[in-house]
Amino acid sequence: MKKWNMVIDCARCHDCNNCFLADKDEFVGNDFPPYSVAQPWSGHRWMNIERKERGQYPIVQTGYLPKPCLHCADAPCIDGSPAGTIYRREDGLVIIDPEKAKGHPEIVGTCPYGAIYWNAEADVAQKCTGCAHLIDQGWTETRCSQVCPTNAIKVVFADDAEWAALIQKEELRAHREELRTNPRVMYKNLHKWDKVFASGSVAFKDTDDCADGAAVTVSIDGATAGEGVVNNYGEFVVDRLEPGKSYTVRISADGYKAVERTVTLRESLNLGLVMLEKA
């Protein structure tokens, strides 16, 4: 059967928070039995957007991670909560039963992603429902995907084979893959959140011009890990590198001596200004 899945593109998210506001508009003050009671006015972020800076001045990027419940196929919350309080629908959506889960605050701690919140007034744990009540009415979008102006959030209804093929084709990845929860929310361009980059500025010493077109190769243990080209502003960025690893950055241009720098990328790094001398 076709199951509920979601693709979030980190490269398209601009942190506008339309998704967060749409979620509030839908769930604050509204009960949707048998899936949820009203979300409280504050304290809950069923669609949360985490953010961080990458790099150092003047080459700085921002990384955004929209994070709803991931509706895991191997959900720790189901395994770690009292029997019957959390269940999985046939379409894959993971639901906290708002009646059976009452009086069980320990449910909040069962999610390793921090996607479950406690509603003290209703005495129940709550989270994103995947807009199950709307899906039951025939909707093909969630409120968050419906309002996203950059199409960073997309709902995909697909059987398991189709979903697996899309994951491979689009190079989708799971957030915190090491948890092995098999989430139904997968990410595109997740490197903007969990990988690092090497960057810098490059100029020709004899002319003081930007080294437009100079080649940049980043390698580890003799194997190429990434490549880039200096742009007409004299800057380069080589992304998708593993944090905590030591890399050799080589910058070369015809007629000039190549420059090599060895760096450990504990975070995204700006190497500063590199001057290329005539060969």
Q: What is the pLDDT of residue 276?
A: 98
Q: What is the pLDDT of residue 206?
A: 96
Share of the chain above pLDDT 90, in %: 100
Note the pLDDT tens digit of each residue in 26-44: 999 999 999 999 999 999 9
Which of the four pLDDT bands, split at 50, 70 and 90, describes residue 148? very high
Note the pLDDT tens digit of each residue in 180-223: 999 999 999 999 999 999 999 999 999 999 999 999 999 999 99
Cβ neighbours of 4 (radius 10 Å)? 22
Q: What is the pLDDT of residue 262?
A: 96
Kindly provide the residue ranges of all beta strands, DSSP E only, lying in the chain, ordered along the sequence: 3-9, 48-56, 59-67, 86-88, 94-96, 117-119, 124-126, 153-158, 185-188, 196-204, 215-220, 223-229, 235-241, 246-252, 259-264, 269-276
DSSP state letter for 81: S
Q: Which of 235, 228, 231, 241 is nearest to 272 (CA)?
A: 235
Note the pLDDT tens digit of each residue in 244-261: 999 999 999 999 999 999
Cβ neighbours of 270 (radius 10 Å)? 18
Q: What is the pLDDT of residue 41?
A: 93
Q: What is the pLDDT of residue 80?
A: 97
Which of the four pLDDT bands, split at 50, 70 and 90, describes residue 78? very high
Q: What is the pTM of this model?
A: 0.94
Q: What is the pLDDT of residue 168?
A: 97
Q: What is the pLDDT of residue 105?
A: 98
Please provide the size of the chain in residues: 279
| Domain positions in the chain | 3-193, 196-276
Q: What is the pLDDT of residue 15?
A: 97
If you average pLDDT over residues 42-48, what whole number do you get?
A: 96
Cβ–Cβ under 8 Å, residues 124 and 37: yes
What kind of fold does domain 196-276 have according to CATH?
Immunoglobulin-like (2.60.40)
If you average pLDDT over residues 83-105, what whole number do you get?
A: 98
Q: How far apart are CA 58 and CA 135, in angstroms?
A: 45
* One fold for 3-193 and 196-276: no
Q: What is the pLDDT of residue 119?
A: 98
Does domain 3-193 correspond to CATH entry 3.30.70.20?
Answer: yes
Cβ neighbours of 208 (radius 10 Å)? 8
